[in-house]
Chains A and B, each alone.
Chain A
């Protein structure tokens, strides 16, 4: 069975066919569309743009696109540092407690199973100007005398980023916990016999052996932050306030759906993919263990 690969290939064909039609064909069409002039959703191309790379020039000169890229890059760094960082910390703590591990795994993973749109609405109520939970709390504690607009230009970024980071910590937590489970207990016992402290065991055993898992988390965090959409769109429709909160994902959607500029939206989508591939390859190169190549 294992010498003849033919039957195995047969199993791969249906999925390959499915992906060809529903992923790769749309993907390549999207690249083609980014050079076309398209009047709106559902319309076919009116011909090539003049020049054909017009949308890419537009990306380079669009100040809102620059805002989106800047915000996305900052979000990416925060995602990697805080989402993966907090997830790693929680995973190490949960891995070292003698009981209740399953309970904490469920608790920390729970935000993932809630729809991001529902979470967006939830946080909208928390940060609401009139009667929002946070303003009421601060008011009752006497910390503020007037409501704070948490979405104004002074507060919007934190208001947007906190829910995003909070939502996905559990996702990376579960991946890292799985990685920790794969590390042999024998290594820890041997280190303990040799007199290694808890921190030394983490530094010299856990982190090096978690490197492939952390690399996976890193790639997922980078690509995830490039295309994050639903939660920020629910909370900050239309790039509010004053076009300051655009992210690459929300700006692509806005151009495609609201402005009916389908070809420009396609070009932004291509940029997102290109950035995702480049940045994750660079991250992989920097952090991947050489033996893994």
Chain B
């Protein structure tokens, strides 16, 4: 009796386990079915209430970097809802926070044929692979069918692919990199805020004065974020036109400029202009020195303005915003101080799959058009540069830092894209990891450049 009972129990348990193994697919398929039914019924409902879009209502998959705790997450959700309400289409949002892992996941989706219909992604070398494989549609192709597509954008500001120099992405918002200044520290040292006429030599002399007074001249973690100083010390060796050139070796013209740029960073390190712990501290630790009135200057991007002023979700990190400003990084050689690093780094792509699907093509185009109207782009950019023909709108009721940022951008004489975008992830990582070795004299700049360029996967 016991044996029979045990056998029956064993069979029941195994059956349960095996059923459990199979259950998800059944369950998920039924869930998917019901979801799909729900989606289709809601789509139907929306379609029936909006007679103007009755024929086009469909579901599109969208991947963006406006996921997680992104500062524009709320704007993005509002925009998606607005699009759904206006068109009756449904957006399946698969957004995530942008990082190297997310980039890899997006690339993997393209490889496995599970790419989204619309993608908001980087326009640099990260997009090379799926552009090379014909997985996304060029703006020219889309305009052949939809002549008004992205016509509110300056064609000259459209990011061009590194693969074939064609525009694929409709840019949303851009960025600039500038010199943030702690005016309180400068006043204590008797140093003027650098302006469009300040030369590099004058800037170095100011840094020395600030150091002698006991402050840290430059808040920067060379261990974690040497990128901004890399851009500007190299830009100072040439000009805006030359800045985009990626060297083929350390001895060609671009390579020589890069080596000289790195040597400038080494010179600054040797003079003690960076924090004592610049090789062991993170970016958050060193940038905090600006808020603590311990450091005078820091180069960072347009996204850093919110760190000072605060956002809808968080308070600013400084006691008095008027103690800070942003200005041009002093220039050297043929580069004017008003030539700045900036541009467009992300935009909306429509994939080939969505374009070739008659049911999705129209919805995908409408989605991108909706997300890149002047109103939406300005809302997302919040004062950062855009590719809109209408430019940055005038803002009167804002703080002094935002005003300084807009003034700086509007009075620029040249805009150079970040040259690091011309390197793939591996070469970039190798190069920036070697900054600590260059400034400490362990590795000559030329050797570090050669090593990065010779990285096996750097193509």
Contact = CB atoms under 8 A, between A and B. Distances in A.
A240 B14 contact: no
B280 A40 contact: no
Given A1-B6, A257-B101, A260-B425, A241 B14 contact: no
Given A130-B294, A237-B223, A261-B457, 16 more contacts: A4-B3, A11-B14, A11-B17, A14-B17, A14-B21, A17-B21, A40-B426, A41-B100, A41-B107, A240-B436, A241-B279, A241-B436, A242-B279, A257-B100, A260-B424, A260-B457
B10 A149 contact: no
B111 interface: yes
Interface in A9-54: 10-11, 13-14, 17, 37, 39-44
Contact of B426 (A156, A238, A261): A261
Contacts of B292: 130
B444 to A, nearest CB: 16
Contacts, number: 112
Contacts of B285: 128-130
Interface string A232-250: 0000011011110000000
A261 B430 CA distance: 11
Tier of interface size on chain B: 35 or more
Interface of B: 2-3, 6-7, 10-11, 13-14, 17-18, 20-21, 100-101, 104-105, 107-109, 111, 223-224, 276-277, 279-282, 285, 288-289, 292, 294, 424-426, 429-430, 433, 436-437, 440, 442, 456-457
Contact of B108 (A10, A11, A41): A41
Nearest to A6: B10
Nearest to A46: B457
Contacts of A62: none
Contacts of A274: none
A184 interface: no
Given A1-B2, A237-B282, A240-B279, A7 B104 contact: no
A13 B14 contact: yes
Contacts of A8: 10
A260 B426 contact: yes
18 contacts: A1-B2, A1-B6, A4-B7, A7-B14, A8-B10, A10-B14, A14-B14, A37-B456, A40-B107, A43-B107, A130-B285, A130-B289, A130-B294, A237-B223, A238-B433, A241-B280, A260-B425, A260-B426
